[in-house]
Amino acid sequence: MLSYRHAFHAGNHADVLKHFVTIQLLKYLGQKDAPYMYIDTHAGAGMYALDSGEATKNAEFDTGITRLWGRKDLPAPLAEYVDLIRAMNPSGKLRFYPGSPYCAEKVMREQDRLRLFELHPRDVKMLAENFRKLEAHEAAQGRPAAARGKRVMISHADGFAGLKSLLPPPSRRGLVLIDPPYEVKDDYRRVKQTLEDALGRFATGIYAVWYPALQRMESRQMPEKLKRIPANGWLNVTLSISAPVPDGFGLASSGMFILNPPWTLEPMLREVMPWLVKALGSDAGASFVLESGQTLPVNTGTRRTG
Ligand code: SAM
């Protein structure tokens, strides 16, 4: 089923959380000269117009990026994210919003590699087109073609299955973002299965999973299930912009679950999340959760379900 189109949701509060955290994870990897690989298993179209088409339908960006756009007092990690978006809107008016691949491309260096999967025929076409335009723009700015070469690869394929073939990356350094639509329950199961398989191939990679915090059981159980995956620690951060809404009436809350998180992530989020809740919160139910830990012991004698 491929009815999901990210354009309807571009720039909403969930995108803010996901994209600002992803940028921080990539910046962490970029602290060392050694190259790294960024793999986006569900890449979307890469860039979205906010002033026309699908995005205008519910104007979800008004729950997210719009609220940060005019702020002069952004904490540094949010300023890095908003500055990236300001650079793609040189007129000063918020017209374009980046998808995760574009955010990554802007942060990554010439030696790093982007591998993008997208299954929707229209979105993968738009993704390729958006990257073609980006390359043409960069060529015009004098960036050497050889450096761009094989830097970006886009696959019209299932990202859950495709991930296997890329792990471990040659540089043994990397971030995998898993951001499925969760329109089908099977996505929850496949996220967990894909992570278990991926950690078997590339145990030291950083893995970031976005998930909707909905009332439905699969969603509520998701972080608890991911905490049991053997890894070198986990971090779970959620952002709620209001009190819970019944399923089917929009999304008030979402999370990023990170396996093998860099040690810098938690202190940074402790600083930024209270600010973000105030900036995006729409009622007294606005809140965040930030928790971390080591993987729960497995094989304890009692068999866990799920
Ligand atoms: N990561 C993007 C971003 O932050 O800008 C948004 C991705 S959107 C939430 C999920 C995307 O996954 C949709 O564009 C959808 O077409 C695509 N998709 C759904 N199932 C897929 C699969 N099995 N493999 C790859 N892409 C898939």
Asked about 197 being catalytic, the answer comes back as no
In a domain, residue 305? The reply is: no
Question: Which residue range(s) make up the domain with 78?
Answer: 6-228
Asked, as a colleague might, if the bond just before 274 is cis with ω within 30 of 0, I would say no
Cβ–ligand 1 contact at 269 (below 6 Å)? no
Name the residue of 6, 123, 189 whose CB sits within 8 Å of the most ligand 1 atoms, as the mutation to test its pocket.
Answer: 6
Look at residue 180 in the predicted model and tell me its pLDDT: 98
Residue 65 tokens, joined: 């990026």
Residue 274's contacts (CB-CB under 8 Å, 6 or more residues apart) are 288
Across 97-114, b (16+ Cβ under 10 Å) vs e yields bbbbbbbbbbbbeeebbb
Quick check: pTM over 0.85? yes
Name the residue of 118, 123, 160, 166 whose CB sits within 8 Å of the most ligand 1 atoms, as the mutation to test its pocket.
Answer: 118
Residue holding tokens 């043994």? 172
Look at residue 149 in the predicted model and tell me its pLDDT: 60
In a domain, residue 15? The reply is: yes
In a domain, residue 288? The reply is: no
- Residue 130 belongs to domain with CATH number: 3.40.50.150
Phi, psi of 39 (to 5 degrees): -120, 125
Look at residue 284 in the predicted model and tell me its pLDDT: 95
In a domain, residue 300? The reply is: no
Give the N- to C-terminal CA distance of the chain in Å, as an integer: 24
Beta bridge partners of 239: 254, 288
Residue 219's contacts (CB-CB under 8 Å, 6 or more residues apart) are 182, 188, 211, 212, 213
Cβ–ligand 1 contact at 181 (below 6 Å)? yes
pLDDT of 144 higher than 90: no
In a domain, residue 168? The reply is: yes
Grouping H, G, I as helix, E, B as strand and the rest as coil, residue 164 is: helix
Give pLDDT tens digits for 75-131: 999 999 999 999 999 999 999 999 999 999 999 999 999 999 999 999 999 999 999
Regarding predicted confidence, which is higher, 217 or 197?
Answer: 197
The amino acid present at 127, given as its one-letter code, is L
How many Å apart are CA 228 and CA 239, to the nearest integer?
Answer: 22
Name the residue of 15, 22, 26, 42 whose CB sits within 8 Å of the most ligand 1 atoms, as the mutation to test its pocket.
Answer: 42
Residue holding tokens 């990170």? 258
In a domain, residue 306? The reply is: no
In a domain, residue 1? The reply is: no
Ligand 1 geometric centre to CA of 298 (Å)? 31
Report how many domains make up the chain: 1
Look at residue 173 in the predicted model and tell me its pLDDT: 98
In a domain, residue 301? The reply is: no
For atom 17 of ligand 1, the residue with the nearest CA is 42
Give pLDDT tens digits for 230-264: 999 999 999 999 998 887 778 999 999 999 999 99
Q: How far is CA 155 from the centre of its chain?
A: 18
Cβ–ligand 1 contact at 160 (below 6 Å)? yes
Give pLDDT tens digits for 129-141: 999 998 888 788 7
* Mean per-residue pLDDT, 64-79: 97
Residue 218's contacts (CB-CB under 8 Å, 6 or more residues apart) are 182, 185, 188
Phi, psi of 180 (to 5 degrees): -75, 170
**Which residue among 179, 186, 197, 283 is the active-site one?**
179
